[in-house]
Amino acid sequence: MNHPRPRLLLAPTRNFLPFNPFSLDDEDAYRRWRDAKLTAQPRDIGNLIVEIRDPRKPRRIEIEALLRHCATSNLAIWSGLGDAGRDKLVIRALGHQLGLERLDHNPYADDDAITSLRVKPAVMRQGYIPYSNRPLAWHTDGYYNRADKQIGAVLLHCVQPAAHGGENQVLDHEILYLLLRDENPDYLRALMHPRAMTIPPNLADGKELRPARPGPVFSLRNGHLHMRYTDRERSIEWRDDPLTREAVAALKAQLKTPSPWHYRIRLEAGQGLICNNVLHTRTRFEDGEPPRLLYRARYFDRIAAPPVSA
């Protein structure tokens, strides 16, 4: 199936700023970035929704709107896909038009590397909560991946919503960084330590399926702020020092404290969330008939920058 792509001149995905707002030693650069960031953020997630009239032939203006939202808020919502959204080739093509190419072939993904998220009792019994109807705490995707396979972007498309529940809460990780830095810049120093958070090895029947994965919570990748995090209490090890413990407590408190940028959305059929791997949750849900089904694609890429010219 051929999916025409809008002819856009996209800026490279590196950071064009002549300063580094994420340097803890450059307060002036941070303040300028902070003011611009907060000015650009909508207070209502409805302002980040883009209606796509024909998902098989999306218009240039629709793709540009998605790119602009992701550039300012690290996320956007598309709507209007209808039955076309059941076709994974359509979903893959939309990601392609946003600059997303390199899919993460995680263990429970389908053969095409796009995961069909539905209740799967056999997988659920192994402790994989995304395949259950249980709630998911705050996390970024792929936090257990090795350092050179970190997830840059996530696409989540709703084919069939749950009968009840299944609401997501999302928070731009740059906003969380901002809130923590305003509270105490030393928290960021602790959370950027290369051994700040360790995911213990994954063991099954005495065999190591995945080794321990230490790494920072916040880091810079090609000039962009990246975050790996899970709010789970078990199967996680934090660096054992007073400042890290204080920083983690502050981080958890910020996640629990409502703000204008803690967005809530329940994706309906034909809607999708595209983001630069922002923090997100999911509430418990009850299946109907047909059961809940979402497609999830994880990419090593970030979403492309908006076009610099027509």
> Is omega for the bond preceding 121 within 30 degrees of 0, making it cis?
no
Q: What is the mean pLDDT of residues 96-123?
A: 90
Kindly report the backbone phi and psi dihedral angles of residue 11, in degrees, each rounded to the nearest multiple of 5, phi listed first. -75, 150
In a domain, 3, yes or no: no
Residues in CB range of 19: below 8 A, 6 or more apart: 26, 28, 29, 32, 33
Look at residue 16 and tell me whether its pLDDT is greater than 60: no
In a domain, 212, yes or no: yes
In a domain, 80, yes or no: yes
Q: What is the model's pLDDT at position 108?
A: 80
In a domain, 1, yes or no: no
Q: What is the model's pLDDT at position 254?
A: 98
In a domain, 297, yes or no: yes
Q: For 196-237, what is each residue's pLDDT tens digit?
A: 999 998 877 778 878 999 999 999 999 999 999 999 888 799
Q: What percent of the chain has pLDDT over 70?
A: 91
Q: What is the mean pLDDT of residues 29-33?
A: 97
Q: What is the mean pLDDT of residues 118-122?
A: 80
Q: For 35-46, what is each residue's pLDDT tens digit?
A: 999 999 999 999
Q: What is the mean pLDDT of residues 84-95?
A: 97
Quote the tokens at residue 38: 């907060």
297/109 Cα distance (integer angstroms): 9
In a domain, 2, yes or no: no
In a domain, 4, yes or no: no
Residue 281 one-letter amino acid = T
Q: For 287-310, what is each residue's pLDDT tens digit?
A: 999 999 999 999 999 999 998 754
Q: For 124-140, what is each residue's pLDDT tens digit?
A: 545 667 888 999 999 99
Q: What is the model's pLDDT at position 203?
A: 78
Degrees, nearest 5: CA angle 256-180-67 = 85
Q: Is the pTM of this model over 0.75?
A: yes
Check: CB of residue 161 under 8 Å from CB of residue 266.
yes
Residue 273 one-letter amino acid = L
Read off the pLDDT band of 189 (50, 70, 90).
Answer: very high
Q: For 44-80, what is each residue's pLDDT tens digit?
A: 999 999 999 999 999 999 999 999 999 999 999 999 9
Q: What is the model's pLDDT at position 3?
A: 45
Given phi > 0 = left and psi -120 to 50 = alpha, else beta, which region is 244? alpha
In a domain, 35, yes or no: yes
Q: What is the model's pLDDT at position 1?
A: 44
CATH code, domain with 185:
3.60.130.10
Read off the pLDDT band of 2 (50, 70, 90).
Answer: very low
Domain count within the chain: 1
Check: CB of residue 171 under 8 Å from CB of residue 255.
yes
Q: For 158-175, what is each residue's pLDDT tens digit?
A: 999 999 999 999 999 999
250/181 Cα distance (integer angstroms): 11
Domain that holds residue 51: 9-309
Read off the pLDDT band of 121 (50, 70, 90).
Answer: confident
Q: Which tops the pLDDT comparison, 5 or 254?
A: 254
